[in-house]
Structure 1
Amino acid sequence: MFIISEILLYLCFSIVMGGLILQVVPEDRKPPIMLPKSVILLSVTGIALLSFMPVLRVILYFISDPNIPLADLITSILFTFEVGKGWLVTLVLSVLLFGLITAAYQRNASPELMVISILVAIGLEIALGWSSHAASLYEWGGFIAHTAHFMAMSIWIGILLLSGWFSKSDSNWDRFLQWFHPVAVICVLVTIVAGLVLTFYIAPDYYNSWILPYGQALLFKHLLIVPLLIFGVINGFLVKRRLRNEVGFTPIPWTRAESILVLMVFSATGFMSVQEPPHDVAQTLKMADPSSLFVQLYQGVLTKNPHLTLTWTPMSLLLAIAALLFGVMLFLTFQKKMSPFFGVFMGVMFLLSGYLSLMLGVV
């Protein structure tokens, strides 16, 4: 339940940020996008409700104590815990954003109100970053890294999802790419840099973190970035050329295919959010079990104080070459005018072969 709620929360934020930004873009600089008001308002409501789930987890953790009345427990968590105070701010801003969007649509999507709505949505993401695990442990460094990572991701992915799934046609797509491509490149760079900072904070012992479920999900997420970047190159660079040279070509299916990988990244991130972070793997292993997937694949003997390293074996090298070939095949899928969803399959095969290559190379 908590994993699904996290995935839906990321999706709601992406829809809100992408939808609001697209509303202020001139009509001739974007494809005709029909985003119903109900979808964006439902997403705002989802942010308010789904962001309560971390608070609920804390409540359920302490509720077993019969000496604390439930009302006192909830009040204490909401007004003394950072996660509780963060949710109260989120609730207030969500109500404000709901009202602003409703008023903006009643005035035919007033640009001024939409700009204010974007600022409130940014405030929501700041509130989420302030109550995050990284911020609670690493203060300003963790807060800035988490907020930048999440904000860049929601802007990039939000515009991507809405342009792929809510466009009535691909008219103006070349003019759309003129501004979205640079925005996407900046967002991707910010996401990667901030993600590396978060990895340094949360999983400083990267190889050893793979022993734990959190580290396994983190590895899957990092591997998924590669086919996602390949799709980004296709949808950002190669699509431009084909739009100029090929009459009748539509880029929308490729955008939709890329969004499937995005949802896989959301899934890995949602799984990580409910796992024990691997700050100290040896200490964590005293309280939590290692990943069953890691145990099945690890060729060595797992000790209480692990010191894993990465090396090359014939099998891991062969799988790494296979992963590289699947990445090349993803490019060729576009060049040979094959189905973009076959490209998704190539991306998944890259993920699996790359993952097995690394797991079989751990000693």
Structure 2
Amino acid sequence: MDIFVIISQALLYLCFSVLAGSFILLLIPGKYRPDLNIPKRLLLVGAALVPVFTFIPVLDITLYIAPRLGLFESFKIVLTTYSVGTAWNFTFFGSIVLFLLVALAKPGERKMSAILGALLTFGLILTVAWSSHAGAIDSVIGIVSDFVHLASASIWVGILLMVGWCSLNDKNWLAFLSWFSPVAAGCLAAIVLSGVFLMETLVDGYIHSWMVSYGQGLLLKHLFILPLLFYALANGVIVKYKLSKDAAFNPIPGVRVEGILLVVIFTITAVFSQQSPPHGNFMSSEAVSPLFRHFHGDIIDAGSSIGFVVNLNTVGFFFLSLLSMGLIVLSYFKKTPILISFLFSCLLVLSIYLMIMVTVVIR
């Protein structure tokens, strides 16, 4: 069942991104963005799938306690007493309203429909934050931080995905960058700040958490931000220079890579968010991540800690990381296929991850 929960959460984040990005772009005048074709069916599917994907964790908990209480009684208890269940009730009804809003919206009411759609989408994101691990630990800081984190990411990812894959052309691109670059920078700042609060709430020692699966996922998520920052900078700064010199320059492939990297980060978030956060006295030999144990077979217990020792392998992976970064830069300027650029980004993340893992020692 865990794999279904992970897949559902990754697709849920994608739905939020599509909805948030679409409604925001529909509010932007045409002279400040490229021409777009956002299918109404896509918004309807997104609105319809939100309650489906948020129901999977509810079903997971229900099936877990059903052998003791029975399926019907367990389902009733989860929906009425568990935060994930009560939050889903609001998600379900909010999604119905959003679906009807999109389905019944008339062309002349586009602006008002987009405003209401955006408000409903962020309301649905709030219900997910309410049922999160962070919300269970701290009902104020946890929920607010999780909401800001997910909402900011949805805005950034959603706009990139819609512009990257639903644009009919690259018209008005400089005008688009004039407002999107500050929005993306603001989203990044909000993600970092809310991420710090989330780690303070969920994680007792960031480096120490690498020994468990949650910490491993957190590390990989942060490493993928490195190539993401390059593409964000390139798409916001270098593109302006390239367009000023060459009006035929196509900026959309770079935007697509940036969007794909953000989707990967969403997926990693979905994977490790289903693991128990390393909060409190969490460390035991059984809790150690299989991935971490692959590099360190030492006996690890509550008294273990992580240290760093530079060795020959560290130096080798460091230079491989530099080479990977060079390939990313080269692929951008040479306009290589999107898949190649993405693979170079993955190579950079893998190189830095291996460099860290071979440098770590258990004390």
CA shift for structure 1 position 348? 0.9
Aligned partners of 1:203 and 1:278 also within 8 Å: yes
Partner of 1:357: 355
Partner of 1:196: 196
**Which stretch of the first structure deviates more once superposed, 107-116 or 243-252?**
107-116
Alpha-carbon separation, structure 2, partners of 1:41 and 1:52: 18
Secondary structure at the counterpart of residue 278 of structure 1: coil
Alpha-carbon separation, structure 2, partners of 1:45 and 1:101: 11
CA shift for structure 1 position 45? 0.9
> Where in structure 2 are the equivalents of 1:149-168 lying within 5 Å?
149-168=149-168
Secondary structure at the counterpart of residue 62 of structure 1: helix
> Where in structure 2 are the equivalents of 1:152-301 lying within 5 Å?
152-280=152-280, 283-285=282-284, 288-298=286-296, 300-301=298-299
Residues 24 and 292 of structure 1, relative CA distance in 2, 3 Å threshold: same
Alignment of 1:48 with 2:51, yes or no, is: yes
Runs of 4+ that moved beyond 6 A: none
Which residue of 4, 9, 24 corresponds with 2:12? 9
- Structure 2: state its 5+ residue gaps: none
Aligned partners of 2:328 and 2:344 also within 8 Å: yes
Partner of 1:323: 321
Q: Percent sequence identity over matched residues?
A: 33
Alpha-carbon separation, structure 2, partners of 1:334 and 1:94: 39
Secondary structure at the counterpart of residue 285 of structure 1: coil
Which residue of 4, 19, 24 corresponds with 1:21? 24
Which residue of 57, 61, 65 corresponds with 1:58? 61
Aligned partners of 1:234 and 1:331 also within 8 Å: no
Aligned partners of 1:299 and 1:360 also within 8 Å: no
Partner of 2:129: 129
CA shift for structure 1 position 304? 4.7
- Structure 1: state its 5+ residue gaps: none
**Which stretch of the first structure deviates more once superposed, 45-54 or 351-360?**
45-54
Alpha-carbon separation, structure 1, partners of 2:117 and 2:134: 27
CA shift for structure 1 position 72? 2.1
What are the superposed Cα offsets for residues 306-351 of structure 1, whole Å, 9 maximum, x if unpaired?
2112332232133134323422432233234444443322211110
Aligned partners of 2:6 and 2:274 also within 8 Å: yes
What are the superposed Cα offsets for residues 58-105 of structure 1, whole Å, 9 maximum, x if unpaired?
11221121xx2322221111111111111001111111111112222x
TM-score with structure 1 setting the length: 0.93
Alignment of 1:348 with 2:346, yes or no, is: yes
Alignment of 1:32 with 2:38, yes or no, is: no
Residues 160 and 212 of structure 1, relative CA distance in 2, 3 Å threshold: same
Alpha-carbon separation, structure 2, partners of 1:243 and 1:49: 43
Aligned partners of 1:23 and 1:109 also within 8 Å: no
**Which stretch of the first structure deviates more once superposed, 17-26 or 333-342?**
333-342
Q: What value does the CA root-mean-square deviation take over the aligned residues?
A: 1.7
CA shift for structure 1 position 53? 1.4
CA shift for structure 1 position 291? 1.8
What is the number of residues matched between the two proteins?
358
